Every structure is written in C-alpha cells, then in structure tokens.
C-alpha cells in the first residue's frame, strides 16, 4: 500500500516535536484516535501493541526514518500517520545507523493481513529511503505538499 492509499493530508504532522520515541508513539496513536481512524475501544490495545513491538526491537531504520508498527486484531483496514520532526537534531530513536530520526511513520495493520503488513512496511521504507523525498518533507510546512512529495516518491 503506497502513500496515496495510506495517508490524507491530515495524517501528516509537520513540526512534530515529541520529547522521545515513547512520546512520539503515544502522540501518533492519539492522533489516529482523534481523526476517527481507530475505534475508541481499540486505542489502548493498539498503543500497547506498538509499544510492545518497540520494546522488543527498535523500529528506527536508516536515513532518519522510524516506522513503529504493530499487527492487531479486529481492525477493518490498515491505518497510518506520519510525524515529521523538523527541529534541528531530530529525535533519538535507537536507529540502526545511529542517526537521529526526522520522519516517524506509525502503521497499524490487521493481524490477519500479514502479507499486506510486510508489503506496506517495504513500500513506505522504499519511498522514505529517497533523499529528495525526505528533504521535501523536512522543508515544507504544508501537508498537501508533503503528501505530494510522498506520492511522487512512490512512482
């Protein structure tokens, strides 16, 4: 699943400024709830599933990208939200390359759709591995422009 199917402009949080990766995950799950992308009764189980996954192994990748995620039961479809940390220095996320994280994508995927889970993670990682996409995300204050950069990077 690519960015055009996964995100709407309201799912892209520019100027995202959490204190640490744990606050980032809490804030992104809350945002999904506030936008009605998660049912109220699912919020805490989603939050705990993502936090448990993160505690087991960091989802900080390369190039300043982190993709915290979890597969959960009783979710009608995949949901995602992106936070772009535009402050100097980024966010510590225990990334495999040791770099600070600038783009955090939270993905929540139905447990019964394992193939979609793997494919979506790979698709998002591939788009965000492109330096011009990351540069546009960090430079813009406009969610429509950020989404356009993601979509262009996917093609």
pLDDT, one tens digit per residue, over 37-59 is: 999 999 999 999 999 999 999 99
Domains of the chain in sequence order: 3-154 (3.40.930.10)
d(CA 113, CA 50): 17
Could you give the CA distance from residue 57 to residue 135 in angstroms, rounded to a whole number?
27
Q: What is the pLDDT of residues 59-84, one digit of tens each?
A: 999 999 999 999 998 888 899 999 99
Q: What is the pLDDT of residue 25?
A: 98
Which of 26, 69, 74, 117 is flagged as catalytic?
Answer: 69
pLDDT tens string 13-38: 999 999 999 999 999 999 999 999 99
Give the pTM: 0.94
Secondary structure class of 20 (helix, strand, coil)? coil
Contact criterion met (CB below 8 Å) for 120 and 50: no
The reply to whether 69 belongs to the active site is yes
87: alpha, beta or left? (left if phi > 0; alpha if psi -120 to 50) = beta
DSSP label at 93? -
């Amino acid at each position: 699943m690519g960015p055009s199917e996964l995100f709407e402009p309201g799912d892209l949080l520019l100027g995202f400024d959490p204190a640490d990766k744990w606050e980032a995950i809490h804030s992104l799950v809350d945002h999904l709830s506030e936008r009605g992308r998660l049912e109220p009764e699912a919020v805490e189980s989603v939050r705990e599933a993502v936090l448990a996954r993160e505690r087991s192994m960091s989802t900080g990748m390369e190039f300043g990208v982190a993709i915290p995620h979890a597969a959960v039961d009783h979710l009608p479809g995949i949901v995602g939200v992106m936070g772009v940390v535009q402050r100097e220095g980024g966010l510590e996320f225990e990334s495999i390359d040791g770099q600070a994280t600038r783009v955090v994508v939270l993905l929540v995927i139905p447990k019964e759709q394992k193939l979609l889970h793997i494919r979506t993670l790979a698709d998002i990682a591939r788009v965000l591995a492109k330096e011009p996409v990351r540069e546009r995300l960090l430079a813009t204050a406009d969610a429509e422009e950020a989404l356009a950069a993601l979509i262009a990077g996917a093609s």
